[in-house]
Amino acid sequence: MAEAKKEKKPIISEKNPMPAQDPIERAKNFHEVSLGYSQEAVVAEANRCLMCKNEPCRQGCPVEVDIPAFIKLAANRDFAGSARKLKEKNALPGVCGRVCPQENQCEKYCTLGKKHQPVGIGRIERFIADWELNGGIQTQHVAPATGKKVAVVGSGPAGLTCAADLAKQGHKVTIFEALHVAGGVLMYGIPEFRLPKAVVQAEVENLKKLGVEIQVNAVVGKFATVDELIEEGGYDAVFIGTGAGLPYFMQIPGENACGVYSANEFLTRTNLMKAYKFPECDTPIRVGCKVAVLGGGNVAMDSARTALRLGAQESWIVYRRSKVELPARHEEVEHAEEEGVKFAFLTFPTRIIYDDNYWVTGMECIRCELGEPDASGRRSPVPIKGSEYIMDVDTVVVAIGQGPNPLVPRTTKGLELNRKGNIIANLETGATSKPGVYAGGDVVTGAATVILAMGAGRTAAKSIHAYLSEK
């Protein structure tokens, strides 16, 4: 046996390919783009792992998953064991396996990745999560009840993670969600073709099995304030994870014309309300022939790809910088390109043009060139004088970012906010200026990623547990 261990593994340079729907076909439907690994592929991929001693991948995971352990179990075909290992640290593996930017996290640090392609950690994670979701849920260990009550405001990735961690430690957790279904951005924002809603709901159901109670249709700040939850509701601590739900607009003329959507509205109608099934589902959406999506992040890519699926003949990403500065994940840009999304780089919209009925008929843009780097380190776009032109579009989706929804921050006494309205919280603990109140995710950091919000939820859960233990 000792000799067998020393035997060097043959290195396989490339990841096992992820099967995906044909780009032309998938641009017409809302089914998931990536189809997931087969058992053979996942075992082969897990076996690419070098099982190196220093395990650098682990430092790249915001929720501290024991990556080598779950991969090793997968390599040995112990999928149940692998799922258990994964679930120890990650309450939403089916979500993370699909939407985490692994290239900037775990896979970035992979030893194999130094000379070859890194191990497809995200792809393995997705397989294990799906295997568990399809084949019966493993019961998870829940500590004896502590008698402490925690209110979690918002059921997005931060809130769900925080709730799961606290429930496992025996605290009674209630999540308050403003919409009619739990999941936050996972339900209203990220499209079905990237993250099937059934996967999100299955993970939410798992949370309920831990004893977490979820109250939907409950807008904190309206039906009760955070202070009232503490004083009248008897909650011993509160976690605020209300996300970045306030859409920004360009502040250019014509932006209220019919046919101009915020990305939030465009995606919410499509994902949460299933407008793509109209008239079977009641919520309508109008997509014209030629759609311009303003912005270059993941939300912009999601919007442009959604527009194609809703029947747009042309879908354009209009971005003021160049391709290299696009903030979206590389994979998302690639998928968008494959599906036929077009790109207008170095282009800045200055005015939206509309007809007598107030419907969009075009968009005036000015061409830009890249100047000096700005505060973010990216070269900033400088308009070229006299280069204005009219882009022929009939629908505009503004995807230039979101701010924190002010409903909770503004109605909570003694909660310190920054200039932009984000809650000020200690990033190491999640503690806010108000005792017993913690916050994390986009409402603190501004719009970021699912996994960073989850990491913040985990951090806050640790602090809340410590706080409750001392209380």
Partner 1 sequence: MYKILKKEVLAPTLNLFEIQAPLVAKKAKAGQFVILRIHEEGERIPLTIADFDQVKGTITCVFQEVGKTTKELGALCQGDCIKDFVGPLGVPSHIEKYGRIACVGGGVGVAPVHPIARALKEAGNQVTGIIGARTKELLFWEDKMRAACSELRVATDDGSYARQGFVTDLLKEAIEEKGDIALCVAIGPLPMMRAVCNLTRQYNLKTIVSLNSIMVDGTGMCGCCRVTVGGETKFACVDGPEFDGHQVDFAEMARRSVIYKPQEQIALERYNNQGAHKCSCGCGGDR
Exposure of 469 by Cβ count < 10 A (0-12 exposed, 13-18 middle, 19+ buried)? Answer: exposed
Q: Contact with partner 1 (CB under 8 A): which of 223, 231, 384, 414?
A: 223
What's the min distance (Å) between Cβ of 5 and partner 1? 55
What's the min distance (Å) between Cβ of 198 and partner 1? 14
Question: Which range, of 51-59, 200-208, 251-259, 316-324, touches partner 1 by CB under 8 A?
Answer: 251-259
What's the min distance (Å) between Cβ of 301 and partner 1? 19
- 272 bridge partner residues: none
Question: Which range, of 35-43, 106-114, 275-283, 380-388, touches partner 1 by CB under 8 A?
Answer: 275-283
Question: Which range, of 38-46, 158-166, 257-265, 382-390, touches partner 1 by CB under 8 A?
Answer: 257-265
- Does 180 bind partner 1 (CB under 8 A)? Our answer is yes
Q: Contact with partner 1 (CB under 8 A): which of 224, 308, 344, 365?
A: 224
Residue closest to 444 by CA, chosen among 460, 419, 423, 429 = 423
Q: How far is CA 39 from the centre of its chain?
A: 27
What's the min distance (Å) between Cβ of 91 and partner 1? 24
Residue closest to 440 by CA, chosen among 456, 429, 451, 452 = 456
Q: Contact with partner 1 (CB under 8 A): which of 216, 384, 390, 466?
A: 216
Residue closest to 316 by CA, chosen among 286, 337, 299 = 337
Q: Site mask, partner 1, residues 334-373, x = CB under 8 A?
A: -----------------------xx---------------
- Does 264 bind partner 1 (CB under 8 A)? Our answer is yes
Query: Interaction with partner 1 in 378-407: which residues (CB under 8 A)?
Result: 405-407
Q: Contact with partner 1 (CB under 8 A): which of 146, 201, 283, 350?
A: 283
Between 282 and 369, CB nearer to partner 1: 282
- Does 330 bind partner 1 (CB under 8 A)? Our answer is no
- Does 278 bind partner 1 (CB under 8 A)? Our answer is yes
Query: Interaction with partner 1 in 230-249: which residues (CB under 8 A)?
Result: 245-247, 249
290-294 and 395-398 as β-strands: parallel, antiparallel, unpaired? parallel
- Does 307 bind partner 1 (CB under 8 A)? Our answer is no
Q: How far is it, in rounded angstroms, from Cα 425 to Cα 404?
A: 14
Query: Interaction with partner 1 in 140-179: which residues (CB under 8 A)?
Result: 178-179
Q: Given phi > 0 = left and psi -120 to 50 = alpha, else beta, which region is 386?
A: left
Number of residues that bind partner 1 (CB under 8 A): 40
What's the min distance (Å) between Cβ of 37 and partner 1? 32
Count Cβ neighbours within 10 Å for each residue of 204-224 and write b for 16 or more, e otherwise.
bebbeebbbebeeebebbeeb
Q: How far is it, in rounded angstroms, from Cα 190 to Cα 291?
A: 19
* Residue 273 contacts residue 310 (beta carbons within 8 Å): no
- Cβ neighbors of 228 (< 8 A, separation 6 or more) are none
* Residue 403 contacts residue 421 (beta carbons within 8 Å): yes
Q: How far is CA 358 from the centre of its chain?
A: 34
What's the min distance (Å) between Cβ of 265 and partner 1? 4
- Does 227 bind partner 1 (CB under 8 A)? Our answer is no
Q: How far is it, in rounded angstroms, from Cα 218 to Cα 95?
A: 24
Q: Where are the beta strands (DSSP E) in 330-461?
A: 342-344, 347-354, 360-373, 379-383, 389-391, 395-398, 402-403, 437-439
Q: Which positions touch partner 1 (CB under 8 A)?
A: 178-180, 188, 216-219, 222-224, 245-247, 249, 255-256, 258, 261-262, 264-265, 268-269, 273-274, 277-284, 286, 357-358, 405-407
